[in-house]
Structure 1
Amino acid sequence: MSRQPMLRLRFVGRLTIGLLGVATALLLAPSATAQPEVDANNAITAAWQAGGGDTGPLGPRSGDVYPVGAGFAQNFASGKVFFTPETGAHAMQGAILEKYESVGGPADSDLGFPTIDEGPGRAPDSRNTTFSAADNPVIFWTPATGARVVRGPINAAWDKLGGSSGVLGVPAEDETYNASTVSQKFTGGEVSYDSRAKTFTTMPPDLAGQLADLSIPDDPVAA
């Protein structure tokens, strides 16, 4: 056999061995693919431990992390922690958690995931949590009024008028709808928004003047 074919055979043999080595290394190397459940578990555990772990407000774990909606959750003795990569891990308890789940929670409502831990509001003895939906929803709770969802144009108006520490006080009822108008009662009055006319009406009536320059998108669920 001539020298040139022999060199070719040696080259092919070395190439084959090299490719086998690369394939083996890839098989043995740690997986670099995304592991969202692992990330969720790590984030939820960190949030739980930062809040005191077993002896904190949430208490001990009750089961493992599980997928829900576009993210994950974990149950604890006294609440839940929800997680997405965009919102992070945030805890809810009691009446606010019950309200969130009663309207569908992260899987079946359009509120999205919590963007802050449940915490004190500005009104005395109040609690609140904000959510990731585009219209900036919040669930607000007091012992006297219970847990109420405030969102979209009503939430924008409430915020403009000082929120829970302003003239309207805290939400006393959930939103109601009448054709193109959404309304919500507060302990200090009422706000209505007509999406066709793009105008607010209020009780007391003079509050509406303070909302005249408030810009609301055409889609009230994108306020």
Structure 2
Amino acid sequence: MSAIDDKWAALGGPGGFLGWPQDEGAGSEEMDTNPPGGRCRDFQGSSIYVKSGVGAFEVHGDIRLAWVRWRAVGGVLGFPTTDETSTPDGRGRYNHFERGSIYWTPQTGAHVVYGDIRQRWAAMGWERSRLGYPTSDERDSSTPGGRMNDFEGGVIFWTPPHELDVRFQID
């Protein structure tokens, strides 16, 4: 048995939310990832990724779709480092990845936060901060070379060289 098989069994195997492995085609068997360094397998309701030194973790639902849009393990986020997990306030869900996170609520959808913006948001208390949940993926700002993320309660801007600015919405 592989680490992926062990994880699948721990999450309920065929009777769990992952369901059975994909029947045919890409993802039906365990395969190497691109970029190299890990393995993955697709299931009816999820995917499990494993990387040596990181572990085996599942990604599913809207968070998985957002991660795939950001090129999955080959993108800015890299491999998952947590399973999809409920947030402490019980309102949302998240997965952490090697270089960022995706947070989801039914109201906001799934959004990517990474780099210095993610570090600032984490230091403020994540979704329990005054900013709340992200309402956009990180993206370019109007400042040349700058980046930004919108949140329920404001915006975090990053401009070179590594300057952060938090602006809260005024109700």
TM over 0.5: yes
Say which SS state the counterpart of residue 158 (structure 2) adopts. strand
Q: CA RMSD in A?
A: 1.5
Aligned to 2:116: 153
Structure 2 residue corresponding to 1:124, chosen from 85, 90, 106: 90
Q: Find out whether 1:66 has 2:31 as its counterpart.
A: yes
Deviation at 1:110, TM superposition (A): 2.4
Aligned to 1:201: 165
Aligned to 2:2: 42
> Deviations 1:152-211 (Å, cap 9, x if unpaired)?
111111111111111110001112223132111100111112222x43222129xxxxxx
TM-score by length of 1: 0.68
CA distance in 2, matches of 1:56, 1:150: 29
Please tell me the residue identity of whatever aligns with 1:105.
A
Percent identity of the aligned residues? 28
Aligned to 1:166: 129
Considering fraction of residues, name the structure with more helix.
Answer: 1
Structure 1 ranges of 4+ moved more than 2 A: 122-125
Considering fraction of residues, name the structure with more strand.
Answer: 2
Please tell me the residue identity of whatever aligns with 2:129.
G
Contact 2:79 2:98 in 1 (8 A): yes
Q: Tell me the matched-pair count.
A: 160
Say which SS state the counterpart of residue 91 (structure 1) adopts. strand
Q: Work out which of the two has the higher radius of gyration on C-alpha atoms and give 1 or 2.
A: 1
Deviation at 1:123, TM superposition (A): 3.7
Please tell me the residue identity of whatever aligns with 2:79.
F
CA distance in 2, matches of 1:193, 1:132: 20
Whose relative contact order is higher, 1 or 2, with alpha carbons under 8 Å and at least 6 apart? 2
CA distance in 1, matches of 2:163, 2:135: 22
Deviation at 1:119, TM superposition (A): 1.1
TM-score by length of 2: 0.87
> Deviations 1:32-65 (Å, cap 9, x if unpaired)?
xxxxxxxxx6100101101111111101111210
Contact 2:58 2:84 in 1 (8 A): yes
Say which SS state the counterpart of residue 124 (structure 1) adopts. coil
CA distance in 2, matches of 1:127, 1:189: 20
Q: Which runs of no fewer than 5 residues in structure 1 stay unpaired?
A: 1-40, 206-223
Q: Which runs of no fewer than 5 residues in structure 2 stay unpaired?
A: 23-27
CA distance in 2, matches of 1:86, 1:92: 18
Contact 1:123 1:170 in 2 (8 A): no
CA distance in 2, matches of 1:161, 1:114: 23
